Chains A and B, each alone.
Chain A
Amino acid sequence: MTISSVFREIIRSSLISLWFVFLTFPLMVIKVNPIERVVHWRWGNMLYVAVTSFVLSLFFREVVRRRKLRETRPEEENRAGIALSIRRIFDEPGKRNMLTGIVFCFSLVFPFVFSSYQTTIMTTALMYVVLGLGLNIVVGMAGLLDLGYVAFYAVGAYTYALLNHHFHLGFWTVLPIGGLVAALFGFLLGFPVLRLRGDYLAIVTLGFGEIIRLILENWGKFSQGPSGIANISRPGFFGIHLSLDSAIVYMYYLMIVFVLATIFIVSRLQNSRLGRAWIALREDETACQVMGIDKRKTKLTAFALGAFWAGIIGVVFASKTTFINPASFTFLESAIILSIVVLGGMGSIIGVIMGAFILILMPEYLRPLSQYRMFAFGLILVLMMVFRPQGLIANVRSAYHFEKTKRTFHA
């Protein structure tokens, strides 16, 4: 870069910074206390906005500039460095197995090394891994933007809570029921709406999610309203009553099993006839139908399967917290799960796992920053779409190997 272009960039960024100072002035600088009728002028915030937006502007303009350069020289390696090296680890079988082994051993000893508080947090993160992988089937693979995913989660949780409350049914009995009831809801909702265009589908599922929550909130006779349902049983362990601490450890291992099972199932689906049909549907609906794929059936399967997962984890959630109320099932919850999928990389299993850990653990361990949690989620959605729509780890389809004479293949 020449001196004059550096100078030009600084001028541009200063102007942008000025614009943001203007933009944020009423809300960032002024704060009114309407009761005591006093105005606080927070001039410090103005400086803060000015500096931050100046630096960010310089940074992003540079990113965009480099990206343009790269586009004009396509022969260069055009993938981001970190993501590529992560990808490489997973591509080499030796390294991949070693890494998997380490992660696995670590996760096995985790509850014995760390406190039960840490274990609880980790269990929560694992729940989001499963939720993310479930939503990933719907959004990542089949390309159906489901903004009401939390509704199915709620259905699972309430199925367990109510059956447990009224009929004393245990966790293991309700687990499949919760999943199936959620899948049934998915099926019933999916049937009429899946012919809608993608963006309408998103809004309808969002509306549906809100309807479920509002019903749970207002239909007190059925769901005990906003006060929720308490004293839900924890999962049984062969009839033995567990102390609180061992229940936490038990729950943790349960989630490890669930995560492994989900990874297994999702990766098998991904490389199957059905998984290919989902991805084709995401890429081009019309062409997909013309190639002989039943659009409605394929979408419905994805939708119901995703709902099934949410239902299962709903049951787990209810049994883990032993108390649920409608406030746990707001749109923001759907948005968090969506952020996990988007950050990780739509369709990529490892990406979604990483996304869940980053988004769920980061706010837990960076407590002072936890109030910026939702702000950061929003920011992540925007930034990922603008700069890296394929996510941290882009999904790479598995390769098949052929030899000239004898053809062999592995998925």
Chain B
Amino acid sequence: MNYFIELFFSGLTRGAIYALIALGYTMVYGIIGLINFAHGEIYMIGAFTSFVVASVLSIYGFPLIAIVIMTGFAAAVWAGAYGYTIEKLAYKPLRHAPRLSPLISAIGMSILLQNYVLLAQTSDFLPFPKLIPDFPFMERYADVLGSSDLVILLTTTAVMILLTFLIKYTRIGKAMRATAQDTTMAMLVGINVNRIISITFVIGSALAAIGGLLIASHIGQINFYIGFIAGIKAFTAAVLGGIGSIPGAVLGSLVLGLTESFATGYVSSDYEDVFAFSLLVLILIFKPSGLLGKAVIKKV
């Protein structure tokens, strides 16, 4: 039974991380209909920025709490800046190009960013400093739920609540929803669509960076290649939930995280990534609109 609970929580933790990344995919897709293939790299850059900032601060002897706050802040800011820049350079000029052009551009961007980090930093695995201490009050539950799992779950929940609030109740959120529904109409009613698109990229990227920070400190090491697999898995989660739908992305992520956790726990860990890929292929073939998405008939 303990094993089951342990797998359950580790699945939730995974799902929470996927959700942080999947939100970026789904928000961008909802607004401009692009699969932002480079989004996984943003997550990786978030993790690397966190690594650099946290290491420097800890070498210069800052207290842990200061390190955590400043690292989170730096990761979000820089990842947001990358997201913003990528959109301006690689996607915006292609807004009216044939549908596959921005996707190819995004794939190029993804390869470029991976190799940028490889060249600027290293191809080796780097040990990530432990940012989340083992809380004494968690000792009793340590065999089913670690301290960092708890922090991941709490942080993700808090971020989701904030995001929901932002989208539901703020001016920007309303403008985002309007743009997602009908870009032309949004433009006609005076929404600055370009700005909304940029904001969407920035928010999505910041979320992914927080995911990167959390998972890096959870697992304890990073590498320039982590974005590829994580990106595809989060994309799978977004599609599973119904791409374009925010609650869908969260639901899809949790389902994917739990599935993976139980499958590797009870079946075999060799095929961990095969589960996710197979799931992706199967959903796209049998229910491309996902769990919460609606099927649309293309207007001719």
Interfacial residues, chain A to chain B (CB-CB below 8 A): 19, 22-24, 26-28, 30-32, 34-35, 37-39, 45, 143, 145, 147, 192-193, 196-200, 202-204, 206-208, 210-211, 214-215, 218, 286, 331-332, 335, 338-339, 342, 371-372, 374-375, 377-383, 385-386, 389
Which residues in A have their C-beta under 8 angstroms from that of B85? Answer: 19, 23
Interface 9-residue window, one of B4-12, B161-169, B280-288: B280-288
Instruction: Given A38-B59, A210-B273, verify A381-B104 contact (CB < 8 Å).
Output: yes
Q: Are A389 and B101 in contact (CB under 8 A)?
A: yes
B206 to chain A, nearest CB (A): 14
A380 and B104 alpha carbons, distance in the complex (Å)? 10
A378 and B278 alpha carbons, distance in the complex (Å)? 27
Considering the complex, which residues of chain B in the window 88-145 have a beta carbon less than 8 Å from any beta carbon of chain A? 89-90, 93-94, 97-105, 107-121, 126-127, 129
B146 to chain A, nearest CB (A): 22
Q: How large is the interface on B (under 10, 10 to 19, 20 to 34, 35 or more residues)?
A: 35 or more
Best-buried of B93, B111, B228, B235 by chain A (most CB within 10 Å): B111
> What is the predominant secondary structure among interface residues of chain A facing chain B?
helix
Q: Are A26 and B78 in contact (CB under 8 A)?
A: yes
Query: Is B53 interfacial (CB-CB < 8 Å)?
Result: yes
Which residues in B have their C-beta under 8 angstroms from that of A332? Answer: 111
Instruction: Given A27-B117, A374-B114, verify A32-B271 contact (CB < 8 Å).
Output: no
Select B285's contact among A145, A193, A199, A214, beta carbons within 8 Å.
A193
Which residues in B have their C-beta under 8 angstroms from that of A214? Answer: 271, 273-274, 277
Interfacial residues, chain B to chain A (CB-CB below 8 A): 34-35, 45, 48-49, 51-53, 55-56, 59, 74, 78, 81-82, 85, 89-90, 93-94, 97-105, 107-121, 126-127, 129, 228, 232, 235, 239, 270-271, 273-274, 277-278, 280-281, 284-285, 288, 298, 300
Q: Are B49 and A27 in contact (CB under 8 A)?
A: yes
Which residues in B have their C-beta under 8 angstroms from that of A383? Answer: 108
4 interchain residue pairs of minimum CB distance: A381-B108, A378-B112, A378-B111, A375-B115
Q: Are A34 and B284 in contact (CB under 8 A)?
A: no
**Beta-carbon nearest neighbor of A219 in chain B:** B270
Which residues in A have their C-beta under 8 angstroms from that of B109? Answer: 378, 381-382
Instruction: Given A207-B232, A378-B112, A379-B112, verify A34-B55 contact (CB < 8 Å).
Output: yes
Q: Are B285 and A385 in contact (CB under 8 A)?
A: no
Interface CB pairs A-B, < 8 A, 17: A19-B85, A26-B74, A28-B120, A34-B126, A39-B59, A192-B285, A197-B288, A198-B99, A198-B100, A199-B34, A202-B100, A210-B277, A214-B273, A331-B228, A375-B111, A382-B90, A389-B101
Which residues in A have their C-beta under 8 angstroms from that of B74? Answer: 26
Q: Are A199 and B35 in contact (CB under 8 A)?
A: yes
**Beta-carbon nearest neighbor of B98 in chain A:** A389
Q: Are B270 and A218 in contact (CB under 8 A)?
A: yes
Q: Are A32 and B285 in contact (CB under 8 A)?
A: no
Q: Are B55 and A24 in contact (CB under 8 A)?
A: no
A201 to chain B, nearest CB (A): 9
Q: Are B103 and A381 in contact (CB under 8 A)?
A: no
Known: A26-B78, A30-B56, A377-B111. 5 other contacts (CB 8 A): A26-B52, A193-B285, A378-B108, A385-B94, A386-B90
Q: Are A375 and B112 in contact (CB under 8 A)?
A: yes
Which residues in B have their C-beta under 8 angstroms from that of A197? Answer: 288
